Amino acid sequence: MTFKKAEWPRRLRSQEWYGGDSRDNIYHRSWMKNQGLPADLFDGRPVVGICNTWSELTPCNAHLRDLAQRVKHGVYEAGGLPVEFPVFSPGEPSLRPTAMMYRNLCSMDVEEALRANPVDGVVLLAGCDKTTPALLMGAASVDLPAIVVSGGPMLNGWFRGERVGSGTALWQMSEDIKAGKMSRADFLEAEASMSRSPGSCNTMGTASTMASMAEALGMALSGNAAIPAVDSRRRVMAHLTGRRIVDMVKDDLKPSDILTREAFENAIRTNGAIGGSTNAVVHLLALAGRIGVDLTLDDWDRLGRDIPTIVNLMPSGKYLMEEFFYAGGLPVVLKMLLDAGKLNGDALTVAGKPVSDELTEVRNWNEDVIRPVEKALTQQGGIAVLRGNLAPNGAVIKPSAASERLMKHRGRAVVFEDIDDYKAKINDETLDIDETSIMVLKNCGPKGYPGMAEVGNMGLPPKVLRKGITDMVRISDARMSGTAYGTVVLHTSPEAAVGGPLAVVRDGDMIEIDVPGRRLHLDISGAELERRLAAWAPAVETPESGYARLFHTHVQGADTGADFDFLKGGRGKAVPRDSH
């Protein structure tokens, strides 16, 4: 793709505030000068916002203040004026009911901060799961020059000589407790090794997946995704990004120039190759909706279906993000896709050139971490989209994290009406369930939970775990953590809370799952399904006020990204009218 640079110098957006000697210009400049800024910083040079999701309540992002300073160094060096500002930080580990409920709020915060303030471009400082898509969504809606710097993953965890993957180990060990394979004392001892440095999850969880998606989309500098948070090269990346955004402003290189359909196709294929999180589905669908690219669930299935999973990282594989970085990181994956004819090499990146130009010198330094295609973890990676009378609008499953023996399965439904019902029943030894059953969880979608929590990877009942069984088919309208694994069908749409077929599944119903055939079927007659749906009444009430009401009223289904209906489509970078 050829990008035509804008002429430079030219009058920038920020000069609507700072350029001139009117009363209003002096008003804007004079208040800024109380920070000790020299007058010549307002002479028409690019003003660069640094959008920071730093928060001590978001542990993955708690080190971003330092990276912001590194970005500032780069901006100043390149002749710009950096201005840092905070936005809402949806932290995955602590936020209730779920961080996903606040992704859209964060994106609105970003959009309005950019729209209302005198900035010509922005550096997006992200890390924890929802901050990366939220910042990209907000920036895409305004369409000012923008570039991502990720906070980077934590260092490897180690416990008694074994790698400990953040999140993944938690799910494994908690199941081992219920199966009687691990003592609680050992579990508590292992806790100390799970998060031993700043940064986000060290597995290919959602944070690392979305950092990879930002790079695959072309919205971050090459190599950004995998550098550990505490590695000095992460600071260098931030510094170089600060330099680069100034040139992007001068060239007027915007998200709409980069986030093309070809870029989204690259990201979907990359997600299959890395064994990325199912959460990427809802985030990229939402981002595409913001920028005006027609992306659907069917694109996810079609583009990812023949992509081998070549990155041998937890939860699909063996290693962690540290090894991925040492092996060469995401550029190696992109190069392998390019060589296989599976990457749009002319897609533009924030570097101002086609992605193929950035991959000429790339080498794979560890072929057990980033495997050759013939040694892939699975030859059919990506995200599989299932449809049928149980999921008319689609449901998703991650084959690389599932059990081959369960890819085609027929089983008796054991139904949990909501997450509280599941918690009340799952440890009951009298629960009528065995390893052939299919666990069904309702009312955990965007409206149902609310926010579509990561509860889809339901833990198995202890009496099944004690048999040595570690996986069963699970179906829900919820999401699951990118660190999780198992034969888990997610994002079933329409969700139960709005009267989707999932809402009327009953204990004892037979369900068929056929991943190769992309089918999810409730084995009852069409007439019986219609009768049940006609008798259905909603169990989830609309909240009376506040953001919860806004969310419940306007959130759309998982099949289109769970964004708000009124945020679809770019709204541009219009300068607000001066009120002074």
Name the burial class of residue 445, with classes exposed (0-12), middle (13-18) and buried (19+) by CB atoms within 10 angstroms of its CB: buried
Q: Where are the domains of the chain?
A: 46-155+197-375, 158-191, 402-540
279, 366 contact by CB (below 8 A): no
Task: Name residue 514's beta-bridge partners.
Answer: 408, 519
In this structure, what DSSP letter does residue 205 have?
Answer: S
φ and ψ at residue 59, rounded to 5 degrees? -55, -35
Under CATH, domain 46-155+197-375 is a member of which superfamily?
Response regulator (3.40.50.2300)
Nearest to 49 by CA among 31, 19, 75, 73: 75
CATH class in words for 402-540: alpha beta
Q: For 460-481, b where at least 16 C-beta lie within 10 A, e where not — what string?
A: bbbbbbeeeebbbbbbbbbbbb
Q: Are 395 and 490 in contact (CB under 8 A)?
A: yes
What CA–CA distance (Å, rounded) separates 176 from 246? 52
DSSP conformation class of 379: S
pTM of the model: 0.96
Q: Burial of 430 by CB count in 10 Å (0-12 exposed, 13-18 middle, 19+ buried)?
A: exposed
Backbone angles phi, psi at 532, to 5 degrees: -65, -45
Displacement of CA 115 from its chain's centroid (Å): 24
**Per-residue confidence of the chain (580 residues) as pLDDT tens digits?**
678 899 999 999 999 999 999 999 999 999 999 999 999 999 999 999 999 999 999 999 999 999 999 999 999 999 999 999 999 999 998 899 999 999 999 999 999 999 999 999 999 999 999 999 999 999 999 999 999 999 999 998 888 888 888 777 877 888 888 888 888 888 888 888 888 899 999 999 999 999 999 999 999 999 999 999 999 999 999 999 999 999 999 999 999 999 999 999 999 999 999 999 999 999 999 999 999 999 999 999 999 988 999 999 998 899 999 999 999 999 999 999 999 999 999 999 999 999 999 999 999 999 999 999 999 999 888 899 999 999 999 999 999 889 999 999 999 999 999 999 999 999 999 999 999 999 999 999 999 999 999 999 999 999 999 999 999 999 999 999 888 889 999 999 999 999 999 999 999 999 999 999 999 999 999 999 999 999 999 988 899 999 999 999 999 999 999 999 999 988 887 777 766 5
Report the helix count and the strand count for the chain, using DSSP H and E.
19, 14
